[in-house]
Structure 1
Amino acid sequence: MKTLLIALAMTALAAGVSHAADLGGKLVKVGSDTTSPPMESVDPASGQIVGFDVDVVNAICAKINCQAEFVTTGWDGIFAALDQGSFDLVASGVSITDERKKAMDFSDPYIVNSQAVLMRVADQGISLDDFKSQGKKLSAQANTTDAQVAEGIVGKENVIAYDSFSASVIALKNKDVDGVVINGANAAAYEREFAGELVVAIKDLQSDPLGLVFRKDDANIAAFNEGLKAIKDDGTLDQLIGKYWGLK
């Protein structure tokens, strides 16, 4: 995915870190909506939470001496749960937006993502202009930048937002909608999962930087930014991007 190349370029901007922060082995709980491979999902064989975000947080913790415990949490309540202290941060492919920054704090960006449109294979010739001009319907997960992008394409009246991404996919398969706006970082995984039925037919829509999310004025943000900078400097972040998306 070409926008992920931006994330690789970001690593070159980081300066060396001479003294890493030390959280003293602290256990940090991490809220995550674990339904979005390869960013985060539950491995059916082991029952463990796995994915890119998991590896990024664990790599940061290795630099700043902390231990991460991931907690599966539904997207619709994840920020409220963070605010109430159910966990210490959120790592769930969260786009950094000005609106969200009013209510929460973010780490520095660790990757750049772009939205795409998942469609039925039989309809993959439908263009973005067709969606705009023919009153076609899109679905997306509620309260996401995906939903905002969908509204920008077809208008709010033609967007059906669901509490979960899986419900959006079911609506597409049932022909209740003509497409699903999807986080581009997850696109290939869903295309493989529904091979022969669904395809990512429109790519590289709005691009957003992703960050880890903290409560306002959290004292640990500086340490996590330092750890993030360290994994950019030593190539760990590049290696993880290569692991999940085949980019180096």
Structure 2
Amino acid sequence: MTKNLALTVAGGIAVLLATAGCTSASTSDSSTSSGSSTQSSSASSGSTSATGAVDAAAAAQVPTEIKSKGTLTFVHDASYPPFESFGADNKTIVGFDVDLADALATTLGLKAAHVNAGFDTILAGISSKKYDVGMSAFSITPERAKTVDFVTYLDGGSGIAVLKGNPKNLSMDPTKLCGHPIGAENGSTQGLNMLPAISAQCQKDGKAAINVQLYPTQSAANLALTSNRVDAVMADTVSLGVQAKLSKGAFELAPGPDYQPAPTGLALLKGSGLDQPLSTAMKSITDSGEMQKLMAKWDIPDSALNKSIVGQIVK
């Protein structure tokens, strides 16, 4: 099921990546900007920076154009806690990715601006220079790496959430999903690749196909689950675990190992010159322990941090 492809990593290192990925999708791009230097007027948390020190080596690698601007514009899909979601004011974007973005900007001697956008518009926005960095729990896949570069920071796979008590007796075993309506976010690789591939295998084995249901946001997919329109939803395991806690017992993670684990990375315009400074900054933040503190703050398990891949550049 998993097809491993070698991708080029900076320094000539090859990293094998499964064709997996998970991220969220919001209903619309709330940014009003036409370029990467403009921050969203309605969904930004402002040009902020985390408390920390500038890493001189990393700051020296920042391209002149970005140094002159003084700000990195990060784009997120604010519907995917604990990575990114709207705060209590329904305007400020909060989450692990947001705090990490602030820490990265600070390490580079810059400020961070945060913009909300639908997931299926983010990579196009990076390619058109509308934003500087796409940071929305992107799992790195060979297909995505054809259009953008990545700097890795976490590692993880996919799982499924089911109603409390698991009344359909499902698990993250692909053979158990045959014949069931399963939800996923529109634009996610769970919805675009994983579930269709599992469904095709179901049919090849003489079983009923999966009825794949796509929703504009993770929240909408979760609502479909709790309103009995689907039997399960498939997404990033870490995010689903936190969302299950936030549901106050309405749904839970089904048993089973992470499905097709892959590194998570931030997305960059190819040839932007941001890959090396962000790689250096990511390693610096991890070595200092700041990464681990942010993970603890947002209830992200220690197992999601694989130091051997942190800061790798994937092209």
Fold equivalence (TM over 0.5): yes
The aligned runs of 1:181-200 (5 Å cut-off) are: 181-200=234-253
Greater Cα offset, 142-151 or 177-186: 142-151
Unaligned runs of 5+ in 2: 1-54, 201-208, 303-315
Contact 2:58 2:107 in 1 (8 A): yes
Letter paired with 2:194: V
Residue of structure 2 in register with 1:6 after alignment? none
How far apart are 1:105 and its partner, in Å? 0.9
Q: In structure 1, which of residues 7, 19, 31 is the aligned counterpart of residue 57 of structure 2?
A: 19
Residue of structure 1 in register with 2:157 after alignment? 114
Is 1:95 equivalent to 2:142 in the alignment?
Answer: no
The aligned runs of 1:89-168 (5 Å cut-off) are: 89-107=133-151, 109-124=152-167, 125-129=169-173, 132=176, 134-147=178-191, 148-155=193-200, 158-168=211-221
Is 1:232 equivalent to 2:277 in the alignment?
Answer: no
- Root-mean-square deviation (Å): 2.4
TM-score when normalising by structure 2: 0.67
Per-residue displacement from partner, 1:185-230 (whole Å, max 9, x unpaired)? 2123211232232111235222110111011111122111111111
Letter paired with 1:100: R
Distance 2:173 2:105 in 1: 45
Letter paired with 2:78: T
- Tell me the matched-pair count: 231
1:29 and 1:149, CA in 2 relative to 1: closer, same or farther beyond 3 A?
A: same
Corresponding residue SS for 1:81: helix
Corresponding residue SS for 2:113: strand
Distance 1:40 1:54 in 2: 7
Distance 2:229 2:161 in 1: 14
Contact 1:37 1:186 in 2 (8 A): yes
1:35 and 1:56, CA in 2 relative to 1: closer, same or farther beyond 3 A?
A: same
- Identical amino acids, percent of aligned pairs: 27
1:69 and 1:103, CA in 2 relative to 1: closer, same or farther beyond 3 A?
A: same
Corresponding residue SS for 2:144: helix
1:247 and 1:121, CA in 2 relative to 1: closer, same or farther beyond 3 A?
A: closer
Distance 1:133 1:120 in 2: 14
Distance 1:28 1:18 in 2: 17
Distance 2:174 2:101 in 1: 40
Corresponding residue SS for 1:68: strand
Contact 2:157 2:259 in 1 (8 A): yes
Residue of structure 1 in register with 2:265 after alignment? 211
Distance 2:269 2:162 in 1: 36
Greater Cα offset, 68-77 or 115-124: 115-124
Distance 1:229 1:31 in 2: 21
Q: In structure 2, which of residues 95, 109, 116 is the aligned counterpart of residue 51 of structure 1?
A: 95
Residue of structure 2 in register with 1:9 after alignment? none
How far apart are 1:106 and its partner, in Å? 0.8
1:131 and 1:44, CA in 2 relative to 1: closer, same or farther beyond 3 A?
A: farther
Greater Cα offset, 30-39 or 82-91: 82-91
Distance 1:169 1:247 in 2: 22
Letter paired with 1:20: A
Corresponding residue SS for 2:137: coil
How far apart are 1:131 and its partner, in Å? 5.4
Letter paired with 1:189: V
Corresponding residue SS for 1:76: helix
Per-residue displacement from partner, 1:88-126 (whole Å, max 9, x unpaired)? 11110001111111111111x101122111111143533
The structure where helix makes up a greater share of residues is: 1
How far apart are 1:152 and its partner, in Å? 3.8
Contact 1:76 1:163 in 2 (8 A): no
1:106 and 1:194, CA in 2 relative to 1: closer, same or farther beyond 3 A?
A: same
Greater Cα offset, 210-219 or 77-86: 77-86
Distance 2:87 2:134 in 1: 19
